[in-house]
Amino acid sequence: MQKSIFNAPALYGDHHVTEVRRLLFAVDGVTDVYASSAFRMVEVSFDESKVTHDVLMKTLDDLGYLNDSLLMMETGVAAQRTEADGHFRHTATYETVKKTVSFAQTVPYSGRPLWNCPGMGVVSKMDEE
């Protein structure tokens, strides 16, 4: 048995852990998968006579898990609505609740997920059971 550990910066949620485990267990020769969204890493135990480290790395890379995460981060600078980008932020502080900040942004649906989510596509039809 061989073990490989992969850093996976885009593995940031439990739904990614489930998807990574499902996809890697489908690869012939994989015997165990430990994936952690907290540590953003994947440890794979596999039979080296059936699959190689490079094949597993390509599988994870093709799905986007080995790339840097593309999550948006707060800049700390208040934004105002502009004609150029259409962003809007409303910040309010009330005496009774102190230091409360809220914001809203209108983002039109463009047929894809708003935030990068490797391995997950848009649900086009939901099957009801």
| Domain that includes residue 38, residue range | 2-62
Inform me whether the pLDDT recorded for 125 exceeds 60. Answer: no
Inform me whether the pLDDT recorded for 77 exceeds 70. Answer: no
In a domain, 25, yes or no: yes
CA–CA separation, 95 and 111 (whole Å): 41
Inform me whether the pLDDT recorded for 93 exceeds 60. Answer: no
CA–CA separation, 17 and 22 (whole Å): 9
In a domain, 107, yes or no: no
Structural domains of the chain, count: 1
Inform me whether the pLDDT recorded for 29 exceeds 70. Answer: yes
Length of the chain: 129
Q: What percentage of residues in the chain have a pLDDT greater than 90?
A: 35
In a domain, 42, yes or no: yes
Segment 33-73, tens digit of pLDDT:
999 988 999 999 999 999 999 999 999 998 888 887 555 55
The CATH number of the domain holding residue 16 is 3.30.70.100
In a domain, 91, yes or no: no
